[in-house]
Amino acid sequence: MTDWDTIVTEHAPAVWRTAYRLLSNEADASDCMQEAFVSAVGVARREAVQNWPALLKRLATTRALDRLRARMRESARRTAPVDMAALADGDCGPERRSERRELAGRVRQALSRLPRQQAEVFCLRFLSGMSYTEIADHLGLRANNVGVLLHRARSKLREMLAEAQERPG
């Protein structure tokens, strides 16, 4: 029998942070967290879960990427800029905070345009801090495949960010 109260109590903060790092919106992060736990119930009914933190972070990442893609599609339809929260720390001035907000927006937009598996591997590695082996085990891949996907994601992100930098506006 799965002790959901304990699982939620122990893992909810990390799951929320995972979603928030991608979305920078408290309400969206909370929704993603809830969706991740609902999905986890379905997974637990089908199979025994060996690594709750990894499963929940992956589910939160997937939900957050889906929301991010939807947000970018909506933004493209409206053509109004999306208000992304700052990544800035309190030690830098307004100009630097503005630059960081702009960069964060570009990174989020680029992540939303990556193929799903590349975006997921990138987020699990750099936002959730999972190792290649943990990602591989969780996604049913070999660690080498994780490395290849991560390399492709980083290369594509670099390319998209460079293109965004070159465009006037």
* pLDDT 10s digits, 124-165: 888 888 899 999 988 899 999 999 999 999 999 989 888 877
pLDDT over 60 (residue 99): yes
Q: Cα angle vertex 130, ends 126, 132, to 5°? A: 100
Domain carrying residue 79: 4-166
Q: How far apart are the first and last CA of the chain?
A: 56
Burial of 13 (0-12, 13-18, 19+ CB in 10 A): exposed
Highest mean pLDDT among 20-24, 56-60, 88-92: 56-60
* Domain count within the chain: 1
Amino acid at 130: M
pLDDT at 168: 57
pLDDT over 80 (residue 167): no
Q: How far apart are CA 107 and CA 83, in angstroms?
A: 13
Element containing residue 91 per DSSP (H, E) = none
Which is higher by pLDDT, 96 or 46? 46
The CATH number that applies at residue 134 is 1.20.140.160
Q: Is the pTM of this model over 0.75?
A: no
pLDDT at 148: 94
User: pLDDT digit string (tens) for 35-82?
Assistant: 999 999 999 999 999 999 999 999 999 999 988 888 777 765 554 433
